[in-house]
A and B are shown apart, each in its own frame.
Chain A
Amino acid sequence: MRSTTSPFPGNRAHSGRGSRPAFGRRSIVAALLVCLAGAVSGVLVAQTVQPVKYSRLQRLEQWTEALERHQPAEKDAALETFADWTAPEFAELKISFYSALQIVRDPSIRTFFRPPLPNGRPSTQAFYSRDEVRQLVDVAKRLRKLGESHMLRRGAMLHLDAVVLGSGNDARKGSRRSDFFIYHMDDGQALGQQDALGQWDFARFLLEQIHPDPDDVRPRPSDDDWVRRWYRTLLAYQLSQMHFNVADAERGLELFPSDPEILFLEGVLHEALSSPAIQEPLRNSEQTRQSALVRSAGGELDLAEDLLRRAVKRDPTFVEARLHLGRVLVERNNHKAALPELTQVLSKIQDRILQYYGQMFLGRSAAGIGDMAGARAAFERASQLVPAAQSPPLALSQLAYARGDTDEATALLQRLAELPSLERDDPWWFYNTTAGRFFAPSHQEIAADLRKEMPQ
């Protein structure tokens, strides 16, 4: 049962009572995961014509072994299993695994179908030789031993860990046959793209098969709280790395549309997607924008506001959601709505960095309605909270200059100049990643839950 003031596991910073969140001192390279194919399995037949080192059933066997050996949230040898896999091999795994899963559910089955297509079209049959069927049966026996839902959760954990903890995350050099690619950006400039294996997609596929009721095999992942927390972990990871995978994020929201944590993280994700660091590289790449499901800056802010409003409606005590809602309202120049939101939230946040954000946004909002004294007071409070931050003296200097006080404006810049640039540590630079600090505790929590069900 989660606390209303601290909805994230083991993170005191959220409630405003704990230590400083673990952010800052980092530069961020952003990335978007882009899916090119609507019907992924539709291209697999041609891909498997390529000469391969391992057969599809050998790959399934390797995957099963990795699943059995991997300790959740630990960087072990099992995570290296996928280091030499190609994207077509990985796409083929989805089909062979799905066939094995059908045997797990009905050991007598010998007619296999490919995974259901996302657009509702009927899936086609998958064919295997007798030897392959025998291997499928063997794999299915091993998978059944783990317990179906537990096995599916461990599979999702395996791929989450392979991306998060494994070397080289999901990127693949030169596979050229992937339905996924990663679009890299840094400081608002496109760095290029790289093929991806599609591990997030596969993890999501595994979770889609979960049916908490053993007597009803119709998938119901939305009834599974571990799945909810997996998506929460995924969203926090995306924010911590500025490594966005909008399709998976949106699936989390579809499954858990009323969950304040999911709504909050999703809202913050879309707030981050509205930033110039993401929007600018997509300016000349409309196709990537559409494939990556990224809207215009205004569209992302609209969505962020809606999601954050829904989060605070579900949990009115969710102060960090209110803080982000306040900032989104400021960005949209809706200062009349932002001011009461920020004033209210500031009375409840004790964490120094979140207070800093709140004071800065309050200052901007106050200035937006012409309350320059209020703006000045807020920026001064922010400056006291983080004396090494660059933004408050700049904000105060700008206010002074706007009212004609050149001496104070320049004195504030002088104060800033006296602070060596390398000693400056402005939380504002890492605002978009702050909610990513929930990743580590959330990751540990879902791993601990899995370990409880694993033989020691």
Chain B
Amino acid sequence: MTVWRRAAAVGGLVLATGVVTVAQRPTFSSRLEAVRVDVLVTENGRLVRGLTPADFVVLDNGKPQTVDLASFETLPVNVILALDHSASVTGNRLAQLQDAARTVLRALAPRDQAALVTFSHRVALQQALTRDGGAVVAAVDAAQPGGQTSLFDGVYTGLLAGVNDPSRNLVLVFSDGVDTASWLSAAQIIETAKRSDAVVYALSPKDAGSAPFLRDLAGQTGGSAFEVDSLAELSGRFVAILEEFRHRYLLSYSLQGVPSPGWHKLEVRVKNRRATVKARPGYIGIGK
């Protein structure tokens, strides 16, 4: 029936006690002196291990950069779950989503951290970054779906949930519908993603309205977007994504010969190999 429903009945999200971590660390603008680029290197479909800084060619706006560091499996990972909890995610869908979240949380190493953002029309940081996996699982179990979909607002909150933490940020987004309630626009989220060094992996059901946005978002961060036939696939996908993310290289270089502000087009290659390198296509630099 085309009737009102009380938000009290559909929007029963409870915000956990967690808040955004604001521990001091260099602000993003300082990244211009130490640009970080997360890259996946494969050859014939297999991960390439053992590369050193000298193996990489990085062009920042066409200017070669000297890679100072190429970390591989050494830095802890922050997994930020940004999960659709609108009214359509109920019953079996909710159970499968919760199951996937619990599975990926169990796969974290002790030094890794996790956070949970849920979004209906309300965006809730249910649990800020923590090494206490139990707290995140409890937040996953407690979050109740209902209401409209603020996908853009939710993704924005997810992108910033780990921005003050020095670890590598993997934002895992799931949404089964199109944005209907956000204030922020798709363009603003894409711009935010270009400024952030988080890598977004996104999942949605096949032919979901959110798929084009999620593809664009993931592509801009060097991540991937997947459309699943069934939410039963989510658990396996989440874990596979975490494994892939762990095996990415984190390159770091000091920006040289290129003005800081504006769009920086990135090209990353591996010397002397026919390797495929997946990295963000660029980033927006800060400065005057």
Smallest Cβ distance from A120 to chain B, in angstroms?
A: 33
With A26-B4, A422-B11 known to touch, is A411 a contact of B181 (CB < 8 Å)?
no
Specify which chain A residues have a CB less than 8 angstroms from the CB of B21 in the assembled complex. Answer: 410
Which of B75-83, B187-195, B218-226, B229-237 lies at the interface?
A: B187-195
Task: Fill in one digit per residue for B175-206: 1 if any A CB lies within 8 Å of its CB, else 0.
Answer: 00111110110001001100100000000000
* Among candidates A27, A189, A394, residue contacting B177 with C-beta atoms closer than 8 Å: A189
Specify which chain A residues have a CB less than 8 angstroms from the CB of B1 in the assembled complex. Answer: 29, 168-169, 171
Q: Give complex CA distance A260, B286 in Å.
A: 48
The answer to the question of B18 belonging to the interface, with a C-beta cut-off of 8 Å to chain A, is: yes
The answer to the question of A214 belonging to the interface, with a C-beta cut-off of 8 Å to chain B, is: no
Specify which chain B residues have a CB less than 8 angstroms from the CB of A419 in the assembled complex. Answer: 15
The answer to the question of A397 belonging to the interface, with a C-beta cut-off of 8 Å to chain B, is: yes
Contact B178 A280 (CB under 8 A): yes
Which of B38-46, B119-127, B249-257, B269-277 lies at the interface?
A: B119-127
The answer to the question of B241 belonging to the interface, with a C-beta cut-off of 8 Å to chain A, is: no
Contact B179 A276 (CB under 8 A): yes
With A188-B178, A390-B183, A404-B286 known to touch, is A27 a contact of B4 (CB < 8 Å)?
yes
* Among candidates A26, A390, A410, residue contacting B160 with C-beta atoms closer than 8 Å: A410
The answer to the question of A420 belonging to the interface, with a C-beta cut-off of 8 Å to chain B, is: yes
The answer to the question of A187 belonging to the interface, with a C-beta cut-off of 8 Å to chain B, is: yes
Contact A405 B15 (CB under 8 A): no
Q: Which residue of A lies closest to B123 (CB)?
A: A390
Contact B13 A422 (CB under 8 A): yes
Across the A-B interface, how many residue pairs have beta carbons closer than 8 Å?
Answer: 165
Q: Give complex CA distance A263, B180 in Å.
A: 25
Contact A395 B149 (CB under 8 A): no
Size band of the interface chain A makes with B = 35 or more
* Among candidates A31, A275, A280, A398, residue contacting B209 with C-beta atoms closer than 8 Å: A280
* Among candidates B153, B180, B195, residue contacting A276 with C-beta atoms closer than 8 Å: B180
What is the interface of chain A mostly: helix, strand, loop, or mixed?
mixed
* Residues 175-230 of A at the B interface (beta carbon under 8 Å): 182, 184, 186-189
Contact A241 B180 (CB under 8 A): no
* Among candidates A395, A420, A424, A426, residue contacting B14 with C-beta atoms closer than 8 Å: A420
The answer to the question of A418 belonging to the interface, with a C-beta cut-off of 8 Å to chain B, is: yes
With A29-B5, A404-B27 known to touch, is A417 a contact of B183 (CB < 8 Å)?
no
Smallest Cβ distance from A103 to chain B, in angstroms?
A: 37
Contact B122 A406 (CB under 8 A): no
Task: Fill in one digit per residue for B1-30: 1 if any A CB lies within 8 Å of its CB, else 0.
Answer: 111111110111111001111100001110
With A27-B7, A418-B19 known to touch, is A406 a contact of B148 (CB < 8 Å)?
no
Specify which chain B residues have a CB less than 8 angstroms from the CB of A28 in the assembled complex. Answer: 4, 148
Q: Give complex CA distance A398, B190 in Å.
A: 11
Contact A189 B88 (CB under 8 A): yes
Contact A394 B184 (CB under 8 A): yes
The answer to the question of A85 belonging to the interface, with a C-beta cut-off of 8 Å to chain B, is: no
Contact B183 A428 (CB under 8 A): yes
* Residues 240-286 of A at the B interface (beta carbon under 8 Å): 241-243, 275-277, 280, 283-284
Specify which chain B residues have a CB less than 8 angstroms from the CB of A395 in the assembled complex. Answer: 183-184
Contact A169 B148 (CB under 8 A): no
Contact B178 A276 (CB under 8 A): yes
Contact A391 B148 (CB under 8 A): no
Smallest Cβ distance from B180 to chain A, in angstroms?
A: 4
Contact B163 A406 (CB under 8 A): yes
Specify which chain B residues have a CB less than 8 angstroms from the CB of A418 in the assembled complex. Answer: 19
Contact A424 B192 (CB under 8 A): no
Specify which chain A residues have a CB less than 8 angstroms from the CB of B19 in the assembled complex. Answer: 414, 417-418
* Among candidates A169, A283, A407, A416, residue contacting B2 with C-beta atoms closer than 8 Å: A169
Q: Give complex CA distance A421, B287 in Å.
A: 35
* Residues 401-451 of A at the B interface (beta carbon under 8 Å): 401-407, 409-411, 413-414, 416-422, 424, 426, 428-429
Contact A406 B27 (CB under 8 A): yes
Task: Fill in one digit per residue for A18-49: 1 if any B CB lies within 8 Å of its CB, else 0.
Answer: 00000001111111000000000000000000
Specify which chain B residues have a CB less than 8 angstroms from the CB of A186 in the assembled complex. Answer: 87-88
Contact B88 A187 (CB under 8 A): yes
Q: Give complex CA distance A184, B2 in Å.
A: 7
Contact B27 A401 (CB under 8 A): no
Task: Fill in one digit per residue for B146-176: 1 if any A CB lies within 8 Å of its CB, else 0.
Answer: 1111100100110010011000000000000
Q: Which residues on A are within 8 Å of B, measured CB to CB?
A: 25-31, 168-169, 171, 182, 184, 186-189, 241-243, 275-277, 280, 283-284, 360, 390-391, 394-395, 397-398, 401-407, 409-411, 413-414, 416-422, 424, 426, 428-429
Can you list 7 A-B pairs with a CB-CB distance of less than 8 A? A169-B1, A169-B2, A403-B286, A404-B28, A417-B124, A418-B19, A420-B15
Supply 13 further A-B pairs (C-beta < 8 A) apart from A280-B177, A398-B192: A27-B11, A27-B148, A29-B1, A169-B2, A187-B148, A188-B179, A188-B180, A242-B2, A276-B179, A394-B123, A394-B153, A420-B14, A429-B121
7 A-B pairs closest in CB distance? A404-B286, A391-B183, A31-B2, A188-B178, A280-B178, A421-B124, A243-B2
